[in-house]
Amino acid sequence: MRVEVASLEGSPVWFRIIGPWDTPRERETKVKTGLQLALSFFVTLLVVAILGFGAYIAYRNVKLGRADLARAQRLAAALFVLNITAWLLMSEHYANPGLELSHFINGLVSSLFPSALLWTFYIALEPYVRRIWLHGLMGWTRLFSGIIAIRSWAVIFWPGRRRALSWLWRLLFATSLHA
């Protein structure tokens, strides 16, 4: 039986009990079979091909003037703001500025990459979807153009404002009041 302990400034911060039933981490190497290697190579190749084809179609649509750049930018910006907000609220933060900066850069990249992919594929697919499914895009276009009035959204969300605000208040500050 072995106990591993880590400390920070004299206080224990981590414990691990290792018994005879635990396998050492050095021996936990998983050997992939030939089929697994071929399948992972094929999936990687397929993903790269799809990304490359989407980027080519997006470039072509921009070059031909078919792209709706303003709505693509709004959509990508909305996704980025949602992702970075979720990262800020849900991730661990550190007192060490260097570690926090490294963690922030990782969060920034993990928020930027999906936004860039969404922008690329929106630019690539939107002209074709517009031709095939015009009525489905009309509401989408109105939403991103700002034609849907704020008043209509206020009518939907206004009656429950007090309940929503009290729920949000309890969610944010309940733990700090009882701690």
Per-residue model confidence (pLDDT) at position 177:
45
Count up the domains in the chain and report the number.
Answer: 1
In a domain, 90, yes or no: yes
Q: Give the residues across from 4 on adjacent strands.
A: 16
Q: Read off the tokens for 51.
A: 């990304």
In a domain, 109, yes or no: yes
In a domain, 135, yes or no: yes
**Secondary structure letter of residue 10 according to DSSP:** T
Whether residue 12 contacts residue 1, with contact meaning beta carbons closer than 8 Å, is answered with no
Give all strands (DSSP E) within 19-134, no chain letters.
none
Helix (H, G, I), strand (E, B) or coil at 6: strand
* Residue 129 CB partners (closer than 8 Å, separation 6+): 136, 137
How far does CA 40 lie from the centroid of its chain? Answer: 23
In a domain, 92, yes or no: yes
* 80-84 own/partner pairs: CB under 8 Å, 24+ apart: 80/111, 80/112, 80/115, 83/110, 83/111, 83/114, 83/115, 84/108, 84/111
Q: Which of 163, 140, 155 is nearest to 74 (CA)?
A: 140
Encode the chain (179 residues) as per-residue pLDDT tens digits: 888 888 888 888 888 888 877 776 655 667 788 888 899 999 999 999 999 999 999 999 999 998 888 888 888 998 999 999 998 888 888 888 889 899 999 999 999 999 999 999 999 988 888 888 776 666 666 666 655 444 444 444 555 556 666 666 666 555 444 44
Whether residue 95 contacts residue 138, with contact meaning beta carbons closer than 8 Å, is answered with no
In a domain, 44, yes or no: yes
In a domain, 7, yes or no: no
SS3 of the chain: helix, strand, coil, percent, to 5? 75, 10, 20
| 152: exposed, middle or buried (Cβ count in 10 Å: 0-12, 13-18, 19+) | exposed
In a domain, 89, yes or no: yes
In a domain, 106, yes or no: yes
Question: pTM higher than 0.85, yes or no?
Answer: no
Domain that holds residue 144: 29-150
Per-residue model confidence (pLDDT) at position 39:
92
